[in-house]
Amino acid sequence: MTELGVVDIREIYRTINDTYGYDFSQFAMTSFKQRLERLMIRNNISNTENLINKIKSGDEFFDLFLYEVSVPSTEMFRDPSLWRWLREEFFQEAVAKSLSKFRIWVPNCVSGGELYSLVIVLHEMDLLEKVEIIATTISNKSIEYIKEGRYDLKKLEVSIENYKRFHGHSDFSDYYKLDRYYAFRDTSYLDSVEFRKQKINFDNSPQNVRLILFRNNLIYFNPTLQEKVLQHMFDCLSANGYLITGIREQIRNAGTGKDFEVVNEAECVYKKRIAV
Amino acid sequence: MDYKAVIIGGSAGSFQVVTRILNSLPKSFPMPVLLCLHRLKHVRSGFVEALSLKSNIPVDEPYDKEQLKPSRAYLAPANYHMYLELANRIALSTEDAVNHSRPSIDLAFITAANAYRQKLIGIILSGANKDGAFGLKKVRDNGGVTIVQDPNECEVRTMTQSTLQLTPVDHVLTTDQIIKFLNKL
């Protein structure tokens, strides 16, 4: 296996930026290196030069590249206590009583685990009609993958356990079918979701969003980019909009942290604070 | 030699050993201690509190990109990999489990070895999985100091024995000897 050095990685950044205008240079170096090495193994690419040539070869490989350097969500209903809170404390108030459609944005969808958990919760609360969900992804392959519904069996087992801890209202097996190697999620629940392609700089972001579900994505950025992205999320939220991050992503460290107030500390739920 | 960090990996049977080590370190231990211990994915709280009870140095589960400080211990949080990033920072990740583990000891050790090279001390303790063996080899390949708990003392030997099969190490030590070694740093 090739181990990539800092010089190799910088060259890869440069190639991507020159060819496609995507700037990866502020991604967290260690994770990005791991993703690149993994991608090289999976696609039989033996060295940096070959990878660079493949990247330059055109959109088809580059879309695969974008898909494979992104980290998919781990399993459905990760942190069941957050999902319970959303159901019992949040959606009941915020969505059920909302006069207009409640806009939710799930940025950087890679495998759809978070998105699918979200639609299940809303479906079980009979609130799918009251929301407008926008899922953005950086690769077309992610959209295809999510719409196909294929799900890794290894992740299914933990998802089932998580759903039990969430105290879901159904039997989790209502939501998928098994074949020999995969589970297939019932994608009819995604019918009302709008999928949008985004670049890694979050162009094309929805505006006036009431809730952004953005867990365990900031960890893949360096502190400078984290701050920039948080500012962007802040701008996309409506007045009193909510942002949810992963439980080890501390936005108080970031420069924009002062603009968010903590709603639920344990689950990292923040609310946009409007300057008076 | 001026070391930058100690990293400890363990699984089944390592809790008591880690507790004893933390209990015996001086309050002014001159570097950070990174702890990558296998734990239940869905149990977020309790572990760091249990380790803190008898520890002489503060034990925390770090936030992403947190800066490491000496005289503190950092426990890999449940269901995250813990990497060493440039500039002495922790980076967390939710990538796939490695050796069925997240946190994976291999990944923590590999990234720490890349960051600190010969200035790292790696210690593998009792455990029922081979996770950690390759990681300690990487510490050695980068010139760091490698220590394995004496398998005869381990509650479960799989982890230490797999490590010793994969790589030569600098020391095979009992818990008491590990404690003595660390106290001389």
Q: What is the pTM of this model?
A: 0.95
Please say if the pLDDT value at position A255 is more than 60.
no
Closest Cβ–Cβ partner in A71, A226, A250 for B95: A71
The b-or-e profile of A214-223 (16+ CB within 10 A means b, else e) is bbbbbbbbbb
A212-236 pLDDT, tens digit each: 999 999 999 999 999 899 999 999 9
Residue of A nearest to B95 (CA): A71
Is it the case that residue A257 has pLDDT exceeding 70?
no
Which pLDDT belongs to residue B94?
97
Q: How far apart are CA A169 and CA B53, in angstroms?
A: 39
Strand, coil or helix: what is A41? helix
Q: Cβ B83–A158 below 8 Å, yes or no?
A: no
Domain boundaries, chain B: 5-183
What amino acid occupies position A259?
D
Complex prediction ipTM: 0.94
Q: Is B87 on the interface with A (CB under 8 A)?
A: no
Which residues on chain B are in Cβ contact (under 8 Å) with A158? 41-42
Q: What distance in Å separates the CA atoms of residue A262 and residue A224, rounded to the nearest whole number?
A: 22
pLDDT score, position A2: 72
Contact at 8 Å (CB) between A148 and A111? no
Query: Of chain A residues 198-237, which have a CB less than 8 A from chain B?
Result: 216, 218-220, 222-223, 226
Mean pLDDT of A110-135: 97
B9 touching chain A per CB within 8 A: no
Residues of chain B contacting A29 with CB distance shorter than 8 Å? 85-86
Active-site entry in B38, B55, B104, B162: B38
Note the CATH number of domain A80-148+190-272. 3.40.50.150
DSSP H or E segment with residue A61: helix A59-69
Residue A250 — very low, low, confident or very high, per pLDDT cuts 50/70/90? confident
Cβ-based contacts of B44 with chain A (< 8 Å): 79, 247
Residue A204's pLDDT is 86
Confidence class for position A99, pLDDT limits 50, 70, 90: very high
CB A256 within 8 A of CB A234: yes
pLDDT in tens, B11-30: 999 999 999 999 999 999 99
B83 touches chain A (CB under 8 A): yes
pLDDT number for residue A276: 56
Instruction: For residue B93, give the nearest of A71, A158, A223 by CB distance.
Output: A71
Asked if B80 and A248 come within 8 Å (Cβ–Cβ), the reply is yes
> Which parts of chain B sit beneath pLDDT 70?
1
Q: In the annotation, is B131 catalytic?
A: yes
Interchain CB distance below 8 Å, A248 and B91: no
Distances (CA, A) of B106 to A71, B36, B101, B129, B182: 19, 9, 9, 11, 22
What is the chain B residue with the closest CA to A165? B42
Helices B15-24 + B175-183 axis angle, to 10: 30
Is B11 catalytic? The answer is yes
Residue A243: which H helix or E strand, with range? strand A237-244
Digit-coded pLDDT (tens) for A167-180: 999 999 999 999 88
Q: Considering chain B, what percentage of its residues have pLDDT values greater than 70?
A: 99
Which is nearest to A213 in space by CA: A104, A120, A121?
A104
In eight-state DSSP terms, residue B122 is E
Q: A2 touching B, CB under 8 A?
A: no
Give the residue from B48, B68, B88, B92 with the most A CB atoms within 10 Å of its CB, the best one to mutate. B92
Q: Is B91 in contact with B84 (CB distance < 8 Å)?
A: yes
**Yes or no, beta carbons of A219 and B83 under 8 Å apart:** no
**What's the mean pLDDT when you consider all of chain B?**
96
Residue of B nearest to A72 (CA): B95
Quote the pLDDT of residue B1.
Answer: 67
The answer to whether residue A108 neighbours chain B at the CB level (below 8 Å) is no
Q: How many CB pairs under 8 A join A and B?
A: 67
Domain B5-183, what architecture? 3-Layer(aba) Sandwich (3.40)
Q: For residue A259, what pLDDT is reported?
A: 85
Residue ranges per structural domain of chain A: 6-69, 80-148+190-272
Q: Are the Cβ atoms of A31 and B83 closer than 8 angstroms?
A: yes
